[in-house]
Structure 1
Amino acid sequence: MLLEFIRAHTELAAVPFVPEISLFQAAEPIELWEKTEESGAPQPPPFWAFAWAGGQALARHLLDHPGLVAGRSVLDLATGSGLVAVAAARAGAAPVTANDIDPYSLAAAEANAIANDVEVALFEGDVLDTDPEAAVILAGDVFYSREMAARVLPFLRRAAGRGCLVLVGDPGRAYLPADGLIERAAYDVPVIESLESVPFRHTSVWQVR
Structure 2
Amino acid sequence: MTIHILTCVIIKGKSVPNCNAEKLRCGEENLNVSANLPCRIVYVVLPASLNRCRHSHNHTRTTNFARKMHFQRMNFILSKIKMQSGRIYPFPALPKSPLGFLIPDTPDIYKMAHYSNSQKILIEQIIAETNLSSEHLTPELRLHLITQSCRLWTSYPQDSPFLEPFWAFYWPGGQAVSRFVLDNSHLVKGKCVLDFGCGCGASGLAAKVSKAKQVTFNDVDEVAIEAVMLNGLKNKITVDNVSTENLTGMPCQHDVVLVGDMLYDSQFADEVLTWLRGIHESGSLVLIGDPGRFALESHPLRASLRCVGKYELSPSTVLENNGHTQAFVWTFR
Which residue among 115, 139, 150 is the counterpart of 1:19?
139
Tell me how far apart the structure 2 counterparts of residues 175 and 65 of structure 1 sit (CA, whole Å).
27
Residues 261 and 291, structure 2, Cα contact 8 Å, conserved in 1:
yes
3-state secondary structure, aligned to 2:273: helix
Displacement after TM superposition at 1:5 (Å): 2.1
Q: State the partner residue of 1:98.
A: 217
After TM superposition, list the pairs within 5 Å mapping 1:58-207 onto structure 2: 58-120=177-239, 121-176=241-296, 177=299, 178-190=302-314, 191-198=316-323, 201-207=325-331
Q: Would the alpha carbon gap of residues 162 and 196 (structure 1) be closer, same or farther in structure 2, given more than 3 Å must change?
A: same
Which residue identity does 2:254 align to in structure 1? A
Displacement after TM superposition at 1:32 (Å): 8.0
Tell me how far apart the structure 1 counterparts of residues 209 and 156 of structure 2 sit (CA, whole Å).
28
Q: Would the alpha carbon gap of residues 83 and 131 (structure 1) be closer, same or farther in structure 2, given more than 3 Å must change?
A: same
Residues 110 and 122, structure 1, Cα contact 8 Å, conserved in 2:
no
Unaligned runs of 5+ in 1: 38-42
Displacement after TM superposition at 1:15 (Å): 4.0
Deviations 1:135-183 (A, max 9, x none): 0000000110012202111111111011000000110011113211111
Displacement after TM superposition at 1:194 (Å): 4.3
Q: Would the alpha carbon gap of residues 61 and 196 (structure 1) be closer, same or farther in structure 2, given more than 3 Å must change?
A: same
Which residue identity does 2:200 align to in structure 1? S
Report which of the two structures shows the higher radius of gyration computed on alpha carbons. Answer: 2
3-state secondary structure, aligned to 1:31: coil
Aligned length: 202
Displacement after TM superposition at 1:126 (Å): 0.3
Residues 17 and 56, structure 1, Cα contact 8 Å, conserved in 2:
yes
Q: TM-score with structure 2 length normalisation?
A: 0.58
Tell me how far apart the structure 1 counterparts of residues 244 and 154 of structure 2 sit (CA, whole Å).
24
Which residue identity does 1:195 align to in structure 2? E
Which residue identity does 2:176 align to in structure 1? A
Tell me how far apart the structure 1 counterparts of residues 274 and 313 of structure 2 sit (CA, whole Å).
27
Q: State the partner residue of 1:40.
A: none
Residues 194 and 215, structure 2, Cα contact 8 Å, conserved in 1:
yes
3-state secondary structure, aligned to 1:119: coil
Residues 82 and 109, structure 1, Cα contact 8 Å, conserved in 2:
yes
Residues 75 and 98, structure 1, Cα contact 8 Å, conserved in 2:
yes
Displacement after TM superposition at 1:30 (Å): 5.6
Tell me how far apart the structure 2 counterparts of residues 125 and 85 of structure 1 sit (CA, whole Å).
16
Q: State the partner residue of 1:50.
A: 169
Displacement after TM superposition at 1:201 (Å): 2.1
Higher relative contact order (CA 8 A, sep 6+): 1
Tell me how far apart the structure 2 counterparts of residues 93 and 142 of structure 1 sit (CA, whole Å).
22
3-state secondary structure, aligned to 2:189: coil
Tell me how far apart the structure 1 counterparts of residues 135 and 212 of structure 2 sit (CA, whole Å).
20
Residues 217 and 225, structure 2, Cα contact 8 Å, conserved in 1:
yes
Displacement after TM superposition at 1:189 (Å): 1.5
Displacement after TM superposition at 1:4 (Å): 2.6
Which residue identity does 2:173 align to in structure 1? G
Deviations 1:114-144 (A, max 9, x none): 1111123210110112112110000000110
Residues 58 and 169, structure 1, Cα contact 8 Å, conserved in 2:
yes
Q: TM-score with structure 1 length normalisation?
A: 0.90
Deviates more, 1:146-155 or 1:133-142: 146-155
Percent identity between the aligned chains?
33
Displacement after TM superposition at 1:94 (Å): 2.1
User: Over the residues paired in the alignment, what is the CA RMSD in angstroms?
Assistant: 1.7
Residues 70 and 93, structure 1, Cα contact 8 Å, conserved in 2:
yes
Q: State the partner residue of 2:43.
A: none
Q: Would the alpha carbon gap of residues 166 and 35 (structure 1) be closer, same or farther in structure 2, given more than 3 Å must change?
A: same
